[in-house]
Structure 1
Amino acid sequence: MPIYPAGSLNTAALTAPDLYVQIQPPKTRYINGVATDILGIVGVASWGAVGSAMLIGIPQDAAQKIGNQQVRKYDLASAVAISIQLGASNIRAVRVTDGTDTAASSTLKDTAAATGVTLTAFYTGTLGNSLSATLTAGTANSSWKLTVSLPGVAPEVFDNITGTGSTLWANIVSAVNLGQSGIRGPSQLVIATVGASSAAPQQTSGAQTISFTGGTDGTTTITDAVLIGVDGAGATRKGMYALRGTGVQTVNLVDLTDSTQWPTMVTFGLSEGCYMITQGPAGASYSTVSTSLNTAGCDSYALKVLVGDWEYWYDQVNGQQRMMAPATFSAAKIAALAPHQSPLNKPLTNVVSTQRVLSQQPYSLSEIGAINTARLDVITNPCPGGNYYGHRSGLNCSSNPTTNGDNYTRMTNFISLTLAASFGYVVGQLHTTELRRQTKSTIESFLQALVAQGMIGDPNGGPAFSVQIDAANNPDSRVALGYMQADVQVKYLSVVRYFLINLEAGQSVTITVANNPRS
């Protein structure tokens, strides 16, 4: 009684009488939507890999992977701190440098002050200057223990390292770089290289403690173009392009204001299915930013531009109120919201002021209208819902009123990326009526789940979606060439932008109330 996976047995060419069992996969498939909360942030940092998307979810992750926030332009840690405060918990942080970044280092000496081991920080950056290492007697007799420390990170301890002279130094290097089998892994803080010493380690009061110096961040000549970076394959990607394939759906290039870079951002956003958030320079009026947008020729749902009215935020680490770019707040809020939601009129709880509010120049309704007409957005206080800071347009840069909502961008990317990630298995299958039915059923099940979650629908009672895979859109001439086509229509829920209340009041008003029987 042989057993075969479905499709591996040629049932039209059996020769031996027997019972044959074929394992059939379930005919009904279900798919889950892709993550929509992944926020990509690109900026400068004092620690971490360069050109690599690092996962950050909590403040402790940020401190260990990119260092603490600093008062400077393009600071990645500051943007991450703001984003976490606003609810973003699935961040891909990319560090950029100008190429002058260096790693801190120090040396363990022997009794003759010759170098036994050079320890170099695992990453470049000024955080490496906070590293220290201590070499003392080990727990076992005639052994040594090396402890590598970085504030805020659990110390790395390499114990019971044996040997004398050059053998000891080589064993220290091996323990640091390769780890100690069954005890601990390689160091994630330093890299060790052996020196020329063949003498015993130098000790003062039974220990040798060294501090690290020489680490630099490589931020002297950073420009907006460095945040954009260069495209390529694998490790050659830098800046924004390091976010390729990471699943990010919202991107913030920290403090970027160069409008000549916006078309490149649009191209990247369209190719990756992500929403690019940016802004005008600090203090730039909406008319100035509008001119820049028109000059750049960016008319796309993939880009959102905020005016140059920058926000103020209290930096608890540095103990001061700082002016920060609005895209940092906007991108974080958008990433934290479900894709069918708009940031329009939603509170931004960590904004303490804006340039316009601080100068006591509130926006008039006509100015808000002009900002909306200009395909821009602005964060200000008050909002229609109360005296809090929030977005006042909820628009992308598209001039098409049917595609210019923030929710359009996010829902379109969400649905398209989910479909793209779920139906690769169809390629290579035989084009049968059953394959059409299964594929259609799976798409409809996914869309029906969105209806149940209140993410799509028609408030007037019409259908929320339609899926067609039949002979009408798959004629023989196309099928013969290997094509199978699914036509999918989805109706998004509209965001209320204008609420009209018609009030009739006065002494002469006649009110008629229908008599409804009490139940």
Structure 2
Amino acid sequence: MPIVQQGALNTTALIVPDLYVQIVPPQSLLLNGVQTDVVGVVGTASWGPVGEPTIIGSMSDYATSFGPIAARKYDMGTQVAAAVQQGAGNFRCVRVTDGTDTAASLSVLGAITFTAMYTGSMGNQLQLTVSPGSAASSWRLTIAMPRLSPEVFDNITGTGLAFWKNLANAVNNGNSALRGPSQLVVATTLGGAATPLTGVFQFAAGNPGLDGATGVNAAMLVGSDTLPRQGMYALRGQGCAIGLLADADDSTQWSVQAAFGLSESVYMILTGPAGDNIVNAVTMKAEAGVDCYAAKLMFGDWVYWYDQANAMTRLVSPQGFVAGRLANLSPEQSSLNKPLYGVIGTQKSGQPGGRTATTYSSADLGVLLGAGIDVIANPQPGGNYWGVRGGHNSSSNATVNGDNYTRLTNYISITLAAGMGVYVGQVVNDTLFQNIRSTLMAFLNGLLSQGLLGSTDGSPPFAVVCDTSNNPASRTALGYVQADVQVRYQAINEKFIVNVQGGQTVQVSVQTVSTTN
């Protein structure tokens, strides 16, 4: 009584009398949408892997993986912190250096050298403590770094050179099932046979670690697309919905970011230089040739933000605030008129505590938004709070220049790319057409039921065609199958007009609404 999967048995060529059970898979595949809250951030840091995307879910995770926020341009932690304040909590972070970064190291008693696992100045805070072990005639090594749990390697035995080899082996490979290799340092023996001594050894007394951040520029943040990928290109295939290169205000690097956004379906958040003016911003955008729905260009009116880690007010680019706000919105939504948190002023409005506050005029906003440049401003149409004033990407096409177009288009296309490939390799027949259409309709109906799609008159906002009308035999004979999908997005209320007629002679007509019990 064989049990087989459907399609594994030729049921027209059976000879042996028996019961044959075929397991038939569900006829319709259901698609689950991809994540739309993943933010890719590229910048400098004082610890952590270089050029390697790292999953970060909170500022605590960031501090563990990349060290503290640094009060400098191109700092990755600053942008992550600003995004976290908007509710974002799903990051892919890539550290970049200028090539001058070094790992801190320390030699102990001329017998062993400990080198920080990663380059950067945070390694200078490492501390080694050598003390008697739990077992008789043994030693314990404790490796500590601020904000991280200490690593303890206990019961290291031996004398002379053998002891130092055993210690290096424990640090590099672990010395028990519960104590694996060190995640902070790498140990290398020097051939010495000194007797171990109880004491505390500070990495600050050894060779210092350097961040390699002083020479970083926007081009380095963009990186290279050859293996191993560096900078922005390390975000390929990471599932990012939104991306930013921290403080990358060089207009010559905008177009490559837009191209990356198109190729990876990532909404790239760009920024102009701090203290920019409107005329220069419009000119730079035109010269850069950025006119694309995959990028959102923020005006160079940088934001005053209180850096809690360094206890100071800093001027930072608007990228983190915008990326975090978008990540905390459903993809059919716009950033327009949504509150931003943590903003205490901008260059345009003046420093915090100033006596005067300058706001954008309608003429200013008209020029910026007309050129495809968005801006953080206060007030918003909904009240006196900070927010994104346009909700637009950098495209000049009014039909595709909303945040909602970029994000919903990317969401739908990536979801289909991730799930519809199961139909490749199947036999082309009416059943295949029905299954493809059923899968697409089920996904789009799910979007409709959850409010991501909708219509003003209640009619279906989508249509799917996959049958012989768009798959003639001349095409299917060559192995082609085509599904044509039309989806109408919900528009964003950007220009709200209320007509009021008042006066003593106005004739008021009252509209009554009938109710049924």
**TM-score (norm: length of structure 1):** 0.96
Matches within 5 A, 1:182-331: 182-201=177-196, 203=197, 206-212=198-204, 213=206, 214-233=208-227, 236-331=228-323
Counterpart position of 1:424: 421
Counterpart position of 1:112: none
User: Whole-Å Cα distance in 2 between the matches of residues 339 and 516 of structure 1?
Assistant: 34
Aligned length: 509
Contact 1:310/1:326 (CA < 8 Å) preserved in 2? yes
Counterpart position of 2:477: 480
Contact 1:108/1:210 (CA < 8 Å) preserved in 2? no
* CA shift in 2, pair 1:514/1:104, >3 Å: closer
Q: Percent identity?
A: 50
User: Whole-Å Cα distance in 1 between the matches of residues 503 and 401 of structure 2?
Assistant: 40
Matches within 5 A, 1:42-191: 42-109=42-109, 115-191=110-186
Q: Secondary structure at the match of 1:128?
A: helix
Structure 2 residue 355 is the aligned partner of structure 1 residue 361: no
Counterpart position of 2:353: none
* CA shift in 2, pair 1:7/1:181, >3 Å: farther
Kindly provide the CA deviation profile for residues 474-514 of structure 1, in whole angstroms up to 9, marking residues without a partner as x: 11111011111111111111110011101011111121335
User: Whole-Å Cα distance in 2 between the matches of residues 216 and 414 of structure 1?
Assistant: 40
Matches within 5 A, 1:450-469: 450-469=447-466
Cα deviation for residue 97 of structure 1 reads 0.3
Between 99-108 and 177-186, report the one with greater CA deviation. Answer: 177-186
Kindly provide the CA deviation profile for residues 215-238 of structure 1, in whole angstroms up to 9, marking residues without a partner as x: 0000121111001000023xx111
Cα deviation for residue 348 of structure 1 reads 0.5
Contact 1:57/1:90 (CA < 8 Å) preserved in 2? yes
* CA shift in 2, pair 1:516/1:251, >3 Å: closer
Gaps of 5+ in 1: 110-114
Contact 1:119/1:192 (CA < 8 Å) preserved in 2? yes
Cα deviation for residue 211 of structure 1 reads 2.9
Gaps of 5+ in 2: 351-355
Q: Secondary structure at the match of 1:352?
A: strand
User: Whole-Å Cα distance in 1 between the matches of residues 253 and 513 of structure 2?
Assistant: 63
Kindly provide the CA deviation profile for residues 149-182 of structure 1, in whole angstroms up to 9, marking residues without a partner as x: 0011000001111221111111111111111231
Cα deviation for residue 517 of structure 1 reads 6.7
Contact 1:137/1:207 (CA < 8 Å) preserved in 2? no
In structure 2, what residue type is equivalent to 1:217? D
Counterpart position of 1:396: 393
Kindly provide the CA deviation profile for residues 70-129 of structure 1, in whole angstroms up to 9, marking residues without a partner as x: 1111011111111111111001111000000000011221xxxxx222110000000000
User: Whole-Å Cα distance in 2 between the matches of residues 372 and 207 of structure 1?
Assistant: 63
Query: Which consecutive segments of 4 or more residues in structure 1 shift more than 2 A?
Result: 206-213, 512-519
Between 190-199 and 146-155, report the one with greater CA deviation. Answer: 190-199
User: Whole-Å Cα distance in 1 between the matches of residues 235 and 58 of structure 2?
Assistant: 20
Contact 2:104/2:203 (CA < 8 Å) preserved in 1? no
In structure 2, what residue type is equivalent to 1:180? N
Q: Secondary structure at the match of 2:343?
A: coil
* CA shift in 2, pair 1:514/1:79, >3 Å: closer
Q: Secondary structure at the match of 1:140?
A: coil
Cα deviation for residue 458 of structure 1 reads 1.2
User: Whole-Å Cα distance in 2 between the matches of residues 516 and 245 of structure 1?
Assistant: 54
Contact 1:57/1:84 (CA < 8 Å) preserved in 2? no
Instruction: Please give the root-mean-square deviation of Cα atoms over the aligned residues, in Å.
Output: 1.3
